[in-house]
Amino acid sequence: MSETMWGYGADSGYTAGVDLVGYRVEATDGHIGKVDKASEEVDGQYLVVDTGPWIFGKHVLLPAGTVSSIDANERTVYVSRTKDEIKNAPEYDKDKHAVDSGYHQQYGQYYGGHR
Protein backbone atom coordinates (compact mmCIF):
# COMPACT_ATOMS: atom_id res chain seq x y z
CA MET A 1 0.00 0.00 0.00
CA SER A 2 1.29 3.40 -0.90
CA GLU A 3 2.12 5.59 2.08
CA THR A 4 0.68 8.59 0.22
CA MET A 5 -2.71 6.89 -0.23
CA TRP A 6 -3.86 8.22 3.17
CA GLY A 7 -2.66 11.79 2.73
CA TYR A 8 -3.55 14.61 0.33
CA GLY A 9 -0.97 15.28 -2.38
CA ALA A 10 1.00 18.51 -2.11
CA ASP A 11 -0.54 19.78 -5.36
CA SER A 12 -4.15 18.75 -4.55
CA GLY A 13 -5.15 22.17 -3.24
CA TYR A 14 -6.03 20.74 0.16
CA THR A 15 -5.80 23.16 3.08
CA ALA A 16 -5.83 21.75 6.61
CA GLY A 17 -8.82 22.88 8.60
CA VAL A 18 -11.07 23.51 5.58
CA ASP A 19 -14.33 21.60 6.01
CA LEU A 20 -14.97 19.59 2.84
CA VAL A 21 -18.36 18.26 3.99
CA GLY A 22 -20.97 19.15 1.39
CA TYR A 23 -18.48 19.55 -1.48
CA ARG A 24 -19.44 17.92 -4.81
CA VAL A 25 -17.25 14.96 -5.79
CA GLU A 26 -16.28 14.40 -9.42
CA ALA A 27 -14.68 11.22 -10.74
CA THR A 28 -12.64 11.34 -13.94
CA ASP A 29 -15.83 10.57 -15.87
CA GLY A 30 -18.47 12.54 -13.98
CA HIS A 31 -20.28 13.42 -10.77
CA ILE A 32 -20.49 10.74 -8.05
CA GLY A 33 -21.94 12.51 -5.02
CA LYS A 34 -21.16 14.81 -2.10
CA VAL A 35 -18.70 14.61 0.78
CA ASP A 36 -20.52 13.32 3.86
CA LYS A 37 -17.47 13.11 6.14
CA ALA A 38 -13.83 14.13 5.92
CA SER A 39 -11.04 12.92 8.19
CA GLU A 40 -7.91 14.94 8.89
CA GLU A 41 -6.29 12.13 10.86
CA VAL A 42 -2.51 11.97 10.26
CA ASP A 43 -1.70 9.05 7.92
CA GLY A 44 -5.43 8.32 7.78
CA GLN A 45 -7.03 11.12 5.77
CA TYR A 46 -10.08 10.11 3.76
CA LEU A 47 -13.46 11.22 2.48
CA VAL A 48 -16.78 9.42 2.87
CA VAL A 49 -18.95 10.21 -0.14
CA ASP A 50 -22.72 9.93 -0.20
CA THR A 51 -23.45 8.74 -3.73
CA GLY A 52 -27.18 9.37 -3.40
CA PRO A 53 -29.25 7.62 -6.07
CA TRP A 54 -26.20 7.03 -8.31
CA ILE A 55 -25.35 3.75 -6.50
CA PHE A 56 -28.62 3.42 -4.60
CA GLY A 57 -27.67 5.56 -1.63
CA LYS A 58 -24.35 3.85 -0.97
CA HIS A 59 -21.59 5.60 0.96
CA VAL A 60 -18.06 5.06 -0.31
CA LEU A 61 -14.71 5.72 1.32
CA LEU A 62 -12.05 7.47 -0.74
CA PRO A 63 -8.51 7.67 0.64
CA ALA A 64 -7.16 11.24 0.41
CA GLY A 65 -4.52 10.02 -2.05
CA THR A 66 -7.26 9.58 -4.66
CA VAL A 67 -7.97 13.33 -4.59
CA SER A 68 -6.38 15.01 -7.59
CA SER A 69 -7.57 18.54 -6.86
CA ILE A 70 -9.91 20.63 -4.74
CA ASP A 71 -11.63 23.75 -6.04
CA ALA A 72 -12.71 25.71 -2.96
CA ASN A 73 -14.47 28.37 -5.05
CA GLU A 74 -16.63 25.75 -6.78
CA ARG A 75 -16.81 23.58 -3.61
CA THR A 76 -15.77 20.56 -5.67
CA VAL A 77 -13.36 17.69 -5.01
CA TYR A 78 -11.91 15.93 -8.07
CA VAL A 79 -10.70 12.35 -7.68
CA SER A 80 -8.40 10.39 -9.97
CA ARG A 81 -10.66 7.36 -10.27
CA THR A 82 -13.52 6.45 -12.59
CA LYS A 83 -17.12 5.95 -11.52
CA ASP A 84 -16.77 2.20 -12.04
CA GLU A 85 -13.62 1.99 -9.91
CA ILE A 86 -15.45 3.79 -7.12
CA LYS A 87 -18.65 1.79 -7.56
CA ASN A 88 -16.71 -1.51 -7.35
CA ALA A 89 -14.69 -0.50 -4.26
CA PRO A 90 -15.13 -2.40 -1.00
CA GLU A 91 -18.34 -1.32 0.71
CA TYR A 92 -17.98 1.35 3.39
CA ASP A 93 -19.04 0.14 6.83
CA LYS A 94 -18.80 2.87 9.46
CA ASP A 95 -18.83 0.38 12.35
CA LYS A 96 -16.12 -1.83 10.88
CA HIS A 97 -14.10 1.25 9.91
CA ALA A 98 -13.90 2.35 13.55
CA VAL A 99 -12.60 -0.95 14.97
CA ASP A 100 -10.94 -2.99 12.22
CA SER A 101 -7.28 -2.11 11.72
CA GLY A 102 -7.18 -3.98 8.39
CA TYR A 103 -9.99 -1.88 6.96
CA HIS A 104 -7.74 0.93 5.71
CA GLN A 105 -5.35 -1.64 4.28
CA GLN A 106 -8.18 -3.21 2.24
CA TYR A 107 -9.08 0.18 0.75
CA GLY A 108 -5.45 1.16 0.23
CA GLN A 109 -4.78 -2.04 -1.69
CA TYR A 110 -7.89 -1.61 -3.83
CA TYR A 111 -7.28 2.03 -4.76
CA GLY A 112 -3.51 1.64 -4.89
CA GLY A 113 -3.92 -1.01 -7.58
CA HIS A 114 -6.23 1.17 -9.69
CA ARG A 115 -4.22 4.03 -11.10
Q: Where are the domains of the chain?
A: 3-112
Torsion, CA 66, CA 74, CA 25, CA 95, rounded to 10: 90
Instruction: Give the pLDDT score at 111.
Output: 82
Which pTM value belongs to this model? 0.86
What count of other Cβ atoms lies within 10 Å of the Cβ of residue 110?
17
Distance CA 104, CA 48 (A): 13
- Among the listed residues 77, 42, 41, the one whose alpha carbon sits nearest the alpha carbon of residue 60: 77
Classify domain 3-112 by CATH architecture. Answer: Roll (2.30)
pLDDT in tens, 94-107: 776 655 567 677 77
Average pLDDT of the residues of the chain? 85
Q: Average the pLDDT over 65-69 and give the result.
A: 95
